[in-house]
Chain A
Amino acid sequence: MRLPSRRSVARGAALLLAVISAGMSPVVHAARPNVVLILADDLGFSDIAPYGSEIQTPALSALAQRGIRFTNYHTAASCAPTRGMLLTGVDSHRNGVPNIPETIPPEQAQYPNYRGTLGHNVATVASLLQSAGYHTYMAGKWHLGKSPDLLPFRRGFERTVTMADTGADNWEQKPYLAIYKKANWFADGEEFELPKNFYSSRFLVDKTIEFIASNAGDGQPFFAYIPFQAVHIPVQAPQSFTDKYMDTYKAGWEKLREQRLARAQQLGIIPPGTAMVDMSTTGDWESYTADEQRYHAKRMAVYAGMVDAMDHHIGRLINYLRQTGQYDNTVFIFTSDNGSEASGGDDPRSLAMRIALWQQGYVNDYDTLGLKGSFNTIGPSFASAAASPLDFYKFYAGEGGMRVPLIIAGESIPEGARLTNAFAYVTDITPTILDMTGVSPPSGRFGGRPVESIVGRSLLPLVRGDADRIYSATDTIGYELGGNSALFQGDYKIVLNIPPVGDNEWHLYNIVKDPGETNDLKERMPERFNKMLAHYHQYTVANNVLPLPANYNQAFQGIANGTLDRFGPQILLGLLSLIVLLPFLLLYRSRNR
Chain B
Amino acid sequence: MKTLFRILVALPAILFVVMGLRWAVDPSAAAEALGMTLMAGVGLSSQIGDVGSFFLGMGIMMLLGLITAQRSWFQAAALLLALAAAFRALSWLLHGAALTPDMIAVEVVLATVLLLASSRLAEGK
Contacts from A to B (Cβ < 8 Å): 569-570, 572-573, 576-577, 580-581, 584, 587-588, 591
Contacts and interface: CB of A to CB of B under 8 A. Distances in A.
Contacts of B26: 569-570, 572-573
Interface in B20-76: 21-22, 24-26, 29, 56, 60, 63-64, 66-67
A569 B29 contact: yes
Contact of B18 (A569, A577, A588): A577
Nearest to A577: B18
B34 to A, nearest CB: 15
The dominant DSSP class at the A interface is helix
B82 interface: no
B18 A584 contact: no
A572 B18 CA distance: 11
Given A587-B67, A588-B66, A588-B67, A573 B17 contact: no
11 contacts: A569-B25, A572-B25, A573-B18, A573-B22, A573-B26, A576-B25, A577-B17, A580-B56, A581-B17, A587-B67, A591-B67
A588 B10 CA distance: 11
B52 to A, nearest CB: 12
Nearest to B21: A576
B21 A573 contact: yes
Contacts of B63: 581, 584
B14 interface: yes
B29 A580 contact: no
A212 B21 CA distance: 49
Contacts of A573: 18, 21-22, 25-26
Interface string B86-105: 00000000000000000000
B74 to A, nearest CB: 15
Contacts of A577: 14, 17-18, 21
A577 B25 CA distance: 11
Contacts of B56: 580
Nearest to A580: B17
Nearest to B63: A584
A396 to B, nearest CB: 38
Contacts of B22: 573
A576 B26 CA distance: 12
A582 to B, nearest CB: 11
Centre residue among B14, B24, B25, B56 by max chain A CB count within 10 A: B25
A591 B6 CA distance: 14
A56 B41 CA distance: 56
Contacts of A570: 26
Nearest to B29: A569
Contacts of B17: 577, 580-581
Contacts of A587: 67
Contacts of B14: 577, 581
A427 B14 CA distance: 56
- Report the interface size class on chain B: 10 to 19
A182 to B, nearest CB: 13
A587 B17 CA distance: 17
A310 B29 CA distance: 38
Contact of A580 (B21, B64, B66, B67): B21
Nearest to B20: A580
A584 B67 contact: yes
Contacts of B21: 573, 576-577, 580
Contacts of A581: 14, 17, 63
Contacts of A576: 21, 24-25
A588 to B, nearest CB: 5
A577 B18 CA distance: 6
Given A569-B25, A572-B26, A576-B21, 5 more contacts: A570-B26, A573-B26, A576-B25, A577-B14, A577-B18
Contacts of B64: 584
A576 B67 CA distance: 20
B5 to A, nearest CB: 14
7 smallest beta-carbon distances between A and B, as pairs:
A569-B26, A584-B63, A573-B25, A576-B21, A577-B18, A572-B25, A587-B67
B55 to A, nearest CB: 12
A591 to B, nearest CB: 6
A386 to B, nearest CB: 41
A581 B56 CA distance: 11
A577 B56 CA distance: 10
A570 B33 CA distance: 14
Nearest to B69: A591
A584 B66 CA distance: 9
A584 B22 CA distance: 19
Contacts of A572: 25-26
B47 to A, nearest CB: 16
A576 B63 CA distance: 16
B99 to A, nearest CB: 30
A575 to B, nearest CB: 9
Contacts of A580: 17, 21, 56, 60
Contacts of B66: 584, 588
A147 to B, nearest CB: 14
A580 B22 CA distance: 13
A577 B64 CA distance: 16
A570 B26 CA distance: 8
A587 B56 CA distance: 18
A587 B68 CA distance: 9
A573 B24 CA distance: 9
Contacts of A591: 67
B62 to A, nearest CB: 10
Contacts of B24: 576
A576 B56 CA distance: 12
B56 to A, nearest CB: 8
Contacts of A588: 66-67
A28 to B, nearest CB: 44
B77 to A, nearest CB: 14
A591 B17 CA distance: 21
A508 B14 CA distance: 63
B59 to A, nearest CB: 9
A587 B21 CA distance: 21
Contacts of A584: 63-64, 66-67
Contacts of B67: 584, 587-588, 591
A99 B63 CA distance: 48
